[in-house]
Amino acid sequence: MHIPSQVDMLIVGGGINGAGIARDAAGRGLSVALCEQNDFASATSSASTKLIHGGLRYLEHYEFRLVGEALAEREVLLKIAPHIAWPLRFVMPHAKGLRPGWMIRAGLLMYDRLGGKTTLPRSKGIDLLRTPYGAGLKTEFHKGYIYSDAWVDDARLVLLNLRSAAEHGASILPRTRFISARRDGGLWHAELEDTATQQRQTVRARMLVNAAGPWVSQVAGTLGHARTKASVRLVKGSHIVVPKLYEGDHAYIVQDSGKRIIFMIPYERDFTLIGTTDMVVNSISEGGAISQQELDYLCSQVSRYSAKPVTPDQVVWSYSGIRPLYDDGSEDPSAVTRDYTLVLEDGEVNVPQLSVYGGKITTYRKLAEAALDKLAPWMGGANGKWTGSEALPGGDLPPGGQAAFLPQLTQRYPDMPESLLTALMQRHGSNAIEILGDARKPADLGEHFGGRLYEREVRYLIEHEWAQEAGDILWRRTKAGLHMTPQQRDHFARYMENSRITPFSA
């Protein structure tokens, strides 16, 4: 892997914030390198609830700017990434003794207005017993409300931003650990380590961006005389996936007895995604897996609403992540702001370092623009803002989005199962044609590993998306692992261990 000796900007961290900044900076004409110690999106950025939303509950904490900005970004992301993001209707059953109906209706009206001009349907009250929206709930819930937000494949959002950054000239360095950096002679001198070979190399950079997520404080501590002026609150969020609980494309948003919000979301055709929890933890090591307490909590709270009870033995997959939230002093982890804070230090010799605290996946693009605004004095004649108008790779679908593109795919590949074409479209958009190529039937795509994952797509993910290990593909670049048997997953792991496919090189 080629590591440049000098760049304008070095970014530490391959989650959504680092990827967004890399894309924006590279597209403005800066030379950029981004390093990530593991696989991209392997921590917080693949462990979200996978929503593009303003955050209805943030209105109760008076975070009107954050909600308004996020709702505006919802429209932008639906436009630039229509293959991995799409609208979703949310149904909120009214539960007696919790938030009163007038408060919910007022909050939804404000939510609609804060979003400004939108392509999505407005909110309204509904009779749950007389519409299909109540079919997944217990019959004791009569009244409800419905509103619009959107869903996104979070890990793919990261990968596509990185691909776009690479296409604009950025050097993208997976499994490359940041060791330390010091200011010297008007530049940062950063030491990076290849985690496979342990070989180290120094990269010089005019600007350094610390977008290490949960590791932001640790990275800041290695930066010589740089002083951290902010701190991070580590909040663990866990999700569970169970066999599909109800029919329909809508999601549910329900409340626990303490008025915390839990989502039930249609997921991967055959499943329901349930989450999330909010638990303050003291270290990153505590966020690796769901705890029994979290598991029992999610099952019991959803079972208060769901027509089908949910029990721990039904869980087919779970994932946990650490949210690196800016520490605003709130005692309740659910009340800690999801807004971002950017801390800029230019040092005694005018060599800038920017640290990113907090943020949410919906506003990653605005965060990137704000980061570059802060670094503008060191960017010379760089170009202006651009990421809100250029589609992410594969996002150049025809008018009508997925609904218009899928018939084109089926016409072009009439002997391919529509379920396979849909899966490829929702991962790669228009680039699905690049993967399918001249294939006419599934057998032309090479070995089928299960879960609609074929060898030709695997090669594409290795060659163009930096995949190296089985988990990179099964759980991040695709969710094929959910649809495979343990034996199929084991076989695929052996295939990846023996693979000799040349990886992406930017």
Q: Tell me the C-alpha distance between 371 and 373, whole Å.
A: 5
Q: How confident is the model at residue 499 (pLDDT cuts 50, 70, 90)?
A: confident
- Give 375-426 as a 3 state SS string: CHHHCCCCCCCCCCCCCCCCCCCCCCCHHHHHHHHHHHCCCCCHHHHHHHHH
Distances (CA, A) of 372 to 17, 71, 349, 355, 412: 12, 22, 20, 12, 42
Q: How confident is the model at residue 334 (pLDDT cuts 50, 70, 90)?
A: low
What is the per-residue pLDDT across 346-360, written as a single tens digit (0 to 9) for each? 776 789 999 999 889
What is the per-residue pLDDT across 130-145, written as a single tens digit (0 to 9) for each? 999 998 999 999 999 9
Q: Tell me the C-alpha distance between 288 and 37, whole Å.
A: 16
Residue 91 confidence (pLDDT) above 80: yes
Q: Tell me the C-alpha distance between 209 and 193, whole Å.
A: 17
Give the tokens for residue 90.
């949310």
Whole-number average pLDDT of the chain: 93
CB atoms within 10 A of CB 478: 27
The pLDDT score that the predictor gives to residue 346 is 79
Q: Tell me the C-alpha distance between 397 and 404, whole Å.
A: 8
First-to-final CA distance of the chain: 9
CATH 3.50.50.60 residue ranges for the chain: 6-44+156-231+338-378
Q: Tell me the C-alpha distance between 59 and 63, whole Å.
A: 6
Q: Which amino acid is at 349?
A: V
Q: Tell me the C-alpha distance between 365 and 250, whole Å.
A: 26
CB atoms within 10 A of CB 105: 15
Distances (CA, A) of 425 to 75, 380, 422: 20, 40, 5
Q: How confident is the model at residue 331 (pLDDT cuts 50, 70, 90)?
A: low
Residue 302 confidence (pLDDT) above 90: yes
The pLDDT score that the predictor gives to residue 308 is 96
The pLDDT score that the predictor gives to residue 118 is 87
The pLDDT score that the predictor gives to residue 232 is 81
Choices 1.10.3720.10, 2.40.50.140, 1.10.8.870, 3.40.50.620: CATH for 402-497: 1.10.8.870
Q: How confident is the model at residue 506 (pLDDT cuts 50, 70, 90)?
A: very low
The domain defined by 6-44+156-231+338-378 folds into: FAD/NAD(P)-binding domain (3.50.50)
Strands 271-275 and 261-267: antiparallel
Q: How confident is the model at residue 322 (pLDDT cuts 50, 70, 90)?
A: very high
Rounded to 5 degrees, what are φ and ψ at 409? -65, -45
The pLDDT score that the predictor gives to residue 504 is 61
What is the per-residue pLDDT across 201-253, written as a single tens digit (0 to 9) for each? 999 999 999 999 999 999 988 886 555 556 788 999 999 999 999 999 999 99
What is the per-residue pLDDT across 188-212, written as a single tens digit (0 to 9) for each? 999 999 999 999 999 999 999 999 9
Residue 49 confidence (pLDDT) above 80: yes
Q: What is the mean pLDDT of residues 477-501?
A: 94
Give the tokens for residue 488.
């199929």
52, with CB counted inside 10 A (0-12, 13-18, 19+), is buried
What is the per-residue pLDDT across 410-466, written as a single tens digit (0 to 9) for each? 999 999 999 999 999 999 999 999 999 999 999 999 999 999 999 999 999 999 999
Q: Tell me the C-alpha distance between 210 and 356, whole Å.
A: 6
Q: Tell me the C-alpha distance between 489 and 494, whole Å.
A: 9
Q: Tell me the C-alpha distance between 95 and 97, whole Å.
A: 6
71-101: b (≥16 Cβ within 10 Å) or e: bbbbbbbbebbbbbbbbbbbbbbbbeeeeee
Domain 82-152+233-335 is classified in which CATH homologous superfamily? Answer: D-Amino Acid Oxidase, subunit A, domain 2 (3.30.9.10)
Q: What is the mean pLDDT of residues 47-68?
A: 88
CATH 3.30.9.10 residue ranges for the chain: 82-152+233-335
DSSP E strand boundaries for 82-152: 85-93, 124-127, 143-152
Residues 151 and 52: beta-carbon distance below 8 Å: yes
The residue count of the chain comes to 506
CA torsion, ordered 259, 58, 237, 314, to nearest 10 deg: 50
